[in-house]
């Protein structure tokens, strides 16, 4: 914020007095239009900020004539620019051309039209969020999606919270508070934002009991760790990293049998939450909640906005008795989701009932299954408009590349794709600065274009570009280099 200028200092620099007052600027002919479009308070704030900057420039030695030229047109243009910038939404649409389909920083899964329509309906209308339309009595919001989740996973019951970290926290707090949770040392993962599984366990009130080593854990390691204070065995799917080489891990079925012999629940944190067998769509295999349930897991947690292709949510499926205990935990209310999330999730789950059309209707799966020839054809159509837009400031070429799924899902598996590669026309010492300028020009478009920098160039992976018309239409607005 601009600091107020002391009156004594203003008096000692006569040039400042030449600046108009706020009221005088607000009395100019264009002001009424700005008040109508943006409101008087916003115009006052923009005008005061403009005058404060000009005063400071004069105090720093600039002449009043250079700071405040004659005429009104430049004032109108400057205030309009400031008002439009201030009123621009902070949450904006962008083109994700990073090559990461489920990009955490860009919102992860994109919603299919069915989910968008369902959210719009829930926002505009009263809905039966906690109202039973059959009995006319109070309902439970989980029931809106529980049936479909059980159908898709084979679980007895299900509940939904804000995200998968919340799901893990709630499950552990319910089942293992002031008790022990047994988990392999090789599965003590760190997820996005530096949140670590040991930290979540500690916040849940559970005591972590590590077994095995980073690369090898055996069934006997779990068995030796079970004692009178053990509450459950936890297996965490390593969805965001891979250990290769001399490794060993215990299967879910073996852990379930061990846990049940000791009358303990067995919990699996899957994280990515694919509800379909990705191998059926030509993608790398990822474990599903149904497979964990079939293997004997009593609880399974997973995300809604990763491979499931839905809204941000944390899903817990499993045995009736355990889900009932989780619902009674006071934390459940603090972590519950709203009507928009449930509307979107229910709409997405309905799509899974028609697997033959899932790859076309579920946006995430559609983007993941795009084949390189189709992406390359899109690149050939865009190459000339891009070259025209950058003219002599950059070289634009079409090159093969590889996309990644993202958000900790299948971290070592890549998908063949095609990218527009934008390289600065200059070389040598100024190339780095020129490259950053190219990236900034694309970020400043009405719909910002987000790519990735690699090998001295800006790569725009086209796998996630579906709105070709809007992309091309704004290229003419690229700021000059």
Q: Identify the bridge partners of residue 403 per DSSP, sorted by sequence position.
A: 415
pLDDT computed for residue 82 by the predictor: 96
* Tokens (6 digits) for 370: 């795009």
Q: State the total domains in the chain.
A: 3
In terms of domains, do 29 and 147 share one? Answer: no
Burial class (CB in 10 A: 0-12, 13-18, 19+), 9: exposed
**Cβ neighbours around 260 below 10 Å, total:** 14
CA pair distance 322, 75, nearest whole angstrom: 66
pLDDT computed for residue 195 by the predictor: 67
- The answer to whether residue 2 sits within a structural domain is no
- The answer to whether residue 138 sits within a structural domain is yes
pLDDT computed for residue 111 by the predictor: 97
- The answer to whether residue 20 sits within a structural domain is yes
In terms of domains, do 271 and 413 share one? Answer: no
pLDDT computed for residue 241 by the predictor: 59
pLDDT computed for residue 127 by the predictor: 97
182-207 burial by CB neighbour count: b if 16+ within 10 A, else e? bbbebbbbebeeeeebeebbeebebb
Domain that residue 456 falls in: 95-104+367-477
Helix crossing, 31-38 with 73-87: angle to 10°? 0
Mean pLDDT by 10 residues, the chain (481 residues): 44 69 93 95 96 93 89 94 93 97 95 98 97 95 97 98 95 96 84 72 90 88 94 84 74 96 96 90 92 98 96 98 98 97 98 95 97 98 96 93 83 89 89 93 96 96 98 90 67
**CB-based contact 158:316 (threshold 8 Å):** yes
> How do strand 207-211 and strand 157-161 relate by DSSP bridges?
unpaired
* Residue where a domain stops, chosen among 361, 380, 396: 361
In terms of domains, do 143 and 201 share one? Answer: yes
**Cβ neighbours around 215 below 10 Å, total:** 14
CA pair distance 177, 200, nearest whole angstrom: 12
pLDDT computed for residue 11 by the predictor: 39
pLDDT computed for residue 9 by the predictor: 41
**CB-based contact 348:113 (threshold 8 Å):** no
**CB-based contact 305:294 (threshold 8 Å):** no
* Residue where a domain stops, chosen among 327, 343, 361: 361
- The answer to whether residue 1 sits within a structural domain is no
CA pair distance 418, 460, nearest whole angstrom: 8
Domain with 253 in it: what CATH number? Answer: 3.40.640.10
In terms of domains, do 348 and 226 share one? Answer: yes
- The answer to whether residue 387 sits within a structural domain is yes
CA pair distance 336, 160, nearest whole angstrom: 7
User: To 5 degrees, how large is the angle CA 386–CA 443–CA 437?
Assistant: 80
**CB-based contact 451:417 (threshold 8 Å):** no
In terms of domains, do 146 and 26 share one? Answer: no
In terms of domains, do 119 and 82 share one? Answer: no
In terms of domains, do 261 and 155 share one? Answer: yes
pLDDT computed for residue 411 by the predictor: 65
CA pair distance 96, 102, nearest whole angstrom: 10
Q: What is the DSSP-derived secondary structure letter of residue 275?
A: -
In terms of domains, do 338 and 420 share one? Answer: no
In terms of domains, do 170 and 238 share one? Answer: yes
In terms of domains, do 76 and 173 share one? Answer: no
Measured between its terminal Cα atoms, the distance across the chain in Å is 30
pLDDT computed for residue 406 by the predictor: 86
> Which residue do the tokens 């634009």 mark?
396
In terms of domains, do 372 and 353 share one? Answer: no
R_g of the chain, CA atoms, integer Å: 29
User: To 5 degrees, how large is the angle CA 167–CA 197–CA 339?
Assistant: 20
**From residue 150, how far is each of 139, 170, 319 by CA, in Å?**
18, 19, 10
- The answer to whether residue 135 sits within a structural domain is yes
The torsion angle over the Cα atoms of residues 75, 76, 78 and 83, rounded to 10 degrees, is 130
* Residue where a domain stops, chosen among 334, 361, 388: 361
In terms of domains, do 396 and 255 share one? Answer: no
The enclosing H or E element of 401 equals strand 394-406
* Tokens (6 digits) for 351: 């799509």
- The answer to whether residue 134 sits within a structural domain is yes
pLDDT computed for residue 183 by the predictor: 93
> Which residue do the tokens 């969805």 mark?
239
- The answer to whether residue 148 sits within a structural domain is yes
Q: Identify the bridge partners of residue 337 per DSSP, sorted by sequence position.
A: none
């Amino acid at each position: 914020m601009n600091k107020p200028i002391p009156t004594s200092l203003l008096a000692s620099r006569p040039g400042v007095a030449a600046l108009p007052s706020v009221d005088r600027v607000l009395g100019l002919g264009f002001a009424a239009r700005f008040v109508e479009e943006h409101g008087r308070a916003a115009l006052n704030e923009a005008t005061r900020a403009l005058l404060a900057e000009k005063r400071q420039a004069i105090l720093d030695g600039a002449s009043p004539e250079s700071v405040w030229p004659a005429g009104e047109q430049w004032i109108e243009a400057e205030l309009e620019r400031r008002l439009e910038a201030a009123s621009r939404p902070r949450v904006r649409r962008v083109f994700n051309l990073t090559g990461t389909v489920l990009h955490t920083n860009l919102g992860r899964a994109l919603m299919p039209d069915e989910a968008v329509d369902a959210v719009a309906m829930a926002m505009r209308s009263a809905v039966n969020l906690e109202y039973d339309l059959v009995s006319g009595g109070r309902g439970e919001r989980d029931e809106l999606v529980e049936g479909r989740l059980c159908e898709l996973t084979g679980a007895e019951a299900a509940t939904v919270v804000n995200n998968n970290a919340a799901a893990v926290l709630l499950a552990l707090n319910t089942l293992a508070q002031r008790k022990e949770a047994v988990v392999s040392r090789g599965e003590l993962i760190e997820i996005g934002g530096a949140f670590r599984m040991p930290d979540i366990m500690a916040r849940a009130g559970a005591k972590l009991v590590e077994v095995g080593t980073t690369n090898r854990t055996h069934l006997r390691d779990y068995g030796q760790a079970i004692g009178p204070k053990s509450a459950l065995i936890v297996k965490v799917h390593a969805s965001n990293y891979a250990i290769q080489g001399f490794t060993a891990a215990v299967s879910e079925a073996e852990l379930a049998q061990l846990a049940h012999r000791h009358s303990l629940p067995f919990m699996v944190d899957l994280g990515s939450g694919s509800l379909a067998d990705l191998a059926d769509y030509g993608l790398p295999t990822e474990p599903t909640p149904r497979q964990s349930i079939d293997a004997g897991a009593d609880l399974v947690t997973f995300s809604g906005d990763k491979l499931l292709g839905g809204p941000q949510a944390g899903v817990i499926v499993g045995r009736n008795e355990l889900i009932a205990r989780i619902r009674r935990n006071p934390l459940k209310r603090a972590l519950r989701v709203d009507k928009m999330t449930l509307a979107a999730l229910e709409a997405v789950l309905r799509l899974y009932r028609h697997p033959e059309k899932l790859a076309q209707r579920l946006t995430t799966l559609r983007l993941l299954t795009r084949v390189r020839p189709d992406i390359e054809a899109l690149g050939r159509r865009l190459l000339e408009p891009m070259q025209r837009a950058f003219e002599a400031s950059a070289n634009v070429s079409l090159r093969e590349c590889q996309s990644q799924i993202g958000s900790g899902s299948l971290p070592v598996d890549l998908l063949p794709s095609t990218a527009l590669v934008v390289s600065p026309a200059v070389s040598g010492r100024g190339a780095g600065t020129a490259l950053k300028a190219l990236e900034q020009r694309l970020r400043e478009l009405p719909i910002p274009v987000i790519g990735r920098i690699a090998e001295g160039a800006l790569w725009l992976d086209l796998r996630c570009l579906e709105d070709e018309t809007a992309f091309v239409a704004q290229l003419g607005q690229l700021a000059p280099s």
